[in-house]
Amino acid sequence: MKCKKHNLSYKYVCPECFQPYLEETPFSSLEEIRKYQKLNSKRIKTTNLNNKINLIACLKIKYYNNVAYAGSILYNIKNQKYKNFKIRKYKQIIPYFPTLLFLRDLEIYLNLAEQIKFNPDCYILNASGQLHPFLFGVASDFGVKLKEEIPVIGVSKNNLCKSSIPINLKELNKSKIVGDIVFKNKLVGKYLLIKNLKNGIYISVGNNISLNFAMIIISNLLKYRIPEPIRLLNIELNKTIKNEIER
């Protein structure tokens, strides 16, 4: 890619565009950030920490006018009901930069998790985990930084590894199709699609869970394109933002 503003060729992030925001981070350079991502990607555990998952904590962030509207809900898989819906507002310090989402969102996600009074069986973040050019998306960073070892799943509408298209597509059941996302010869995610829809979602390991088990959990939550707890949380976040706008 080439930055029109600085006339620089770059991959993922123009270093000159990002430079003014470095002082808002604990890092001294973009190269140091990449080393951090590569090193910590080796800490991700892809084995099942808990084979019995029912109570899920779902976390999602939406932005409007440089304000982060961050929400959490607890969702019970067995009775398909949610409770303890909460929204908090945070000031946006750093804008979005591809592959550097953790610098903007990680501390918010961790703060949301601290507000939950008891440990869920699993976290779902509306963000990528291992499905990331450096194999360490914000869902994985969150999973590594949690005080307790709890399974974390990343779910996204977008594939950050854009050169990797879904392969090995097959029927998961009568209503869903599943495929693999392979990046640099490594299976890093699953693509899950409801048959009558045009687009699907991307699932990846955050931490402490296998990719296949993560895919099964998300499949059980899929009534529409978006897993139910994320969809419900998105509705409530949109309502809150709308109310803010209309004040």
Q: pLDDT tens-digit profile of 14-59?
A: 999 999 999 999 999 999 999 999 999 999 999 998 888 999 999 9
From the list 85, 87, 105, 86, the residue with the least C-alpha distance to 95 is 105
Classify 47 as helix, strand or coil.
coil
pLDDT range class, residue 1, cuts 50, 70, 90: confident
Q: In the numeric block, which tokens belong to residue 224?
A: 């529409």
Q: Who contacts 204 (Cβ-Cβ below 8 Å, separation ≥6)?
A: 128, 129, 130, 131, 132, 137, 139, 153, 154, 156, 181, 188, 189, 190, 211, 214
Mean pLDDT, rounded, for 163-170: 91
CB < 8 Å & 24+ apart, contacts of 84-91: 84/116, 85/233, 85/236, 86/112, 86/115, 87/236, 87/237, 87/240, 88/112, 88/115, 91/66, 91/67
pLDDT tens for each residue of 218-246:
999 998 999 999 999 999 999 999 988 87
Map out the domains of the chain with their CATH numbers.
Answer: 41-246 (3.30.2170.10)
Q: How far apart are CA 135 and CA 125, in angstroms?
A: 16
Question: 122-125 and 152-156 as β-strands: parallel, antiparallel, unpaired?
Answer: parallel
Is the entire prediction scored with pTM above 0.85? yes
The predicted model gives 188-198 an average pLDDT of: 94
Q: Greater confidence, 52 or 145? A: 145
**Which pLDDT tens digit goes with each residue over 109-134?**
999 999 998 889 999 999 999 999 99
Distance of alpha carbon 45 from alpha carbon 144, whole angstroms: 9
Report whether 21 contacts 14 (CB < 8 A).
Answer: no
